[in-house]
Structure 1
């Protein structure tokens, strides 16, 4: 903490303020009455799972009102604290001071011009309050103009104010903030804002508050004259540090927001400007993916290939293209001459996939300290064409025999071996709920985690997310069953229920055949104000016989189709297991109890007395063989898990705890 405070102090010393002492004519600010602009201060944090949804809503609001809505992402509070050195520390002293006055009761939250009491409100209210603000006239206009000395990393920010009306308050306060875009790092719940979620699991942090340039701390410089016709000019100069906390301060991704407020609250209006780099270092390299990807779901060798075009005036002599395949980095260097309008092709080594998986190819040309004209480093000014990401999934032949997907923690991460997801239309999250003593058993079969779909408000209404596995070998062990467990709560939302569909393809995705569809029933209730957290015994188990696919290898997918609204849906403990003997099974579990069990199984049917039985584990291995003499079977020494009891050519599935 001392190091951070020292850095902030040094920055404050480096900021030079010049105020006009004499009346001047405005250069940029309007003297006409204009409507208020919106300053949306979003209170957020890297460990806030629903904050990316707030980012999405804020971005949509700004995009719908160009030049009228300015977003500031204030990373503050406990959710913003990094849990390790690899996570970005985007907190600021001033941001925490602002948050302490905002009346935040939950994250994400946002303030619209600090115009409400409390300032902070939920993301569902932002658009309505913003529309009201933008329909009102402002008594003061503001204009901000940043200028960058690129080589010296010196930023000059000029601000003009002009009062079109007299304000009853004898003092106002001017705040100038420096924001940074394109900070790549961890963010919980990134899938709720797909535009910013990267295939490698990281996130594009935008509009992040990095520094307050105005003096006076978090709430700005004092403006002592607030009468109609008053003009005021201020200038701030700062030498930009290489880093703030553990984040490099990239001069190519900066913007400045200035706003004028009645006091610490009630922001009249604001203005935002991008920090431009000088013309003599500008370039623009554009990427086009030339990679030929598999035309079916069957993996084939892939040769990554990208075309690079010079779209700027300066000739480029050197640059590096990076390629990220999953989390594995590669790079290729171009050295030569690439004039305006010319293209070159960069080809990487052949990639072979040896297991079924999701994959992504992410090509990128870094914008700074990477592109050269001779010895001079250039800066790419258009970030929209510097990166290309292609994400898909594929399968290999006979990759899967038997499995059990529990979605539990393995090596500090969710265990997703052999699971492939298609979340292009709807999304799952990974959920584990904690209390003071640790994780609550909210998964099926007394597990602590499950896949979950947030149904609140119908964000994925009618859309489907898929869990896929394959290619399943149905020739070696042709007699297989698939089972899954689900939990669902509408939460008094009166939505249509979700549905789960099992489909198969035997031609690598060219066609899909529906095997089973289950319309979900509510398995529990919750206070409508809170998320449904299921108990393990509330899950409903669905068993599906795959007998129609015996001796046919296939890829299977479970699709969860969201209803129109609801609270939460969970899916867990997905298993593919073998049936030795008859392919027909007893599926109702009525004849054996207790289930789950810790010591004994009892069979409620005298016709089974004297019959031989076998118990199989999830892989199909026989773990117990004996004769049933009293309809009581000792399973005390089995390890916890899922098992199948075969007796009298009937199969019963049970859980050993």
Structure 2
């Protein structure tokens, strides 16, 4: 934020129409306005009664009494486990200390000490004395008047304050304070339904809150002070002194975890002399008539695999008081051609609307992209928020879905799963039996860091390199064996949770038909040996229950070295069966097991099986293959000498003829599946 100082009779040049030589402050002698600073809290059952009392006093004294509410102390904490209502801040705690309050609700009126009304000898008073103190202040003369106006353009607030001294201040230096507040923040409040039901906005208590509080309208809530508690010094304080100051303040998206509502911002300004507030004023902010903005570019978003036909989606926001419609929206990619389309809907004040461009864009080529999206409204009074940009990287993706054929029976290279998924990983069955939290990593950043679960689909292209000279690992140590993704297991035990790991990942089921001597192959490594090598087992079963699996890996466990290592397991005893593979991760407070490239394959078999009385005849002239059997033939598959499937046909009959005229001259391996077995044989086609 920044501020400007303008001396008496100096003209402020500004694009804002309200700022000119004409002052907004009275030059006549006036009594004080009452500035009430209330210490309040969410877990204060009588605080809503204080709110109600102040509302009545304000209604009885319009434009003379102004309220600022600050949340401080032990009862100000947010009772919503989901967060979103942390109203406390350092300024509130400072104000509470200054007032010497010993509980809530309490309030100071113009920071004066009313000795017979004070709680502890300071400025804070219990609510039964507020009305008396306010009435007394309103009868006191003020030696300075304050004028105030504020305008919001986008999220930039321009605050114009004028002060005029109708009499000299006893102090040579006074201080100007500018306070920002927000109205209409809905959140929990103890005692709301009992003492201020008009501010309750839910018909029943909200079960999400820690003590089943009602939803309540929190008004006049202090969020910030432009120059902090100390204020902005005024050094000309004699009769006739005129002070004219303008401040600019950029509103954030959040204060703590509470979203900023640009439509509910208030501003107060007051002058202090010594420890007391002499006079002040409070206003809601005003808005431009027309101000449409690109609030965000919603899609594409983040690094990832993108297609050649991606939609570009933006959110438009109307920050002007008038409803807007029928204006142009455009986008540009990497400084290329501008695509312009029309928004034909309407957006009311402080509302948003999502807009999807009809024209798509090809982001499939790997590389860096920047999208700039813009609006064009003829009457727009604020061009600073008319455009927004986003940058991302398109990365190479795997061929999805992964297609393979005999002699490969089943394969998962993990390229076709959602990046950083810890659940819903295809048809994998996941068991996290120990339930501990996994360790995060200092050397990389990744989605779902510190997750609870079993395996995670790690994507190296989307992880961030956070290594330093002191790192235990290099960024390359985290790369999968091939491609961008692998199935990784992080050790549990973080935050004093349970270890060692007892995590199971059970594969989709597959049937070992059509090959002989099948094997399961996988690649694995430990990311580091600093905390011990990673331990795992490999099992085979035919259900989703980990108790049904037989461990086929040798010894108590395998310890993976820090280099990628291939592990192979014989599955010959399971030929003809439908099975699943299971990885059982049992890391003992170690770090990360990296696995990749799971494959079950074998040798294409040549010879007779158990099909009853199977006979075949290849007609060279018609290029047809005639087959008969005493049992039903289910299916025929034909593979070339490279193992690629080139023909497949369902049969479901004991007599069938397949037309092979589309196959070129070569040697082929024919697999015919019957009810009881498979017959495989070579066939020469010329």
With the length of structure 2 as denominator, give the TM-score of the two structures: 0.39
Structure with higher Rg: it is 2
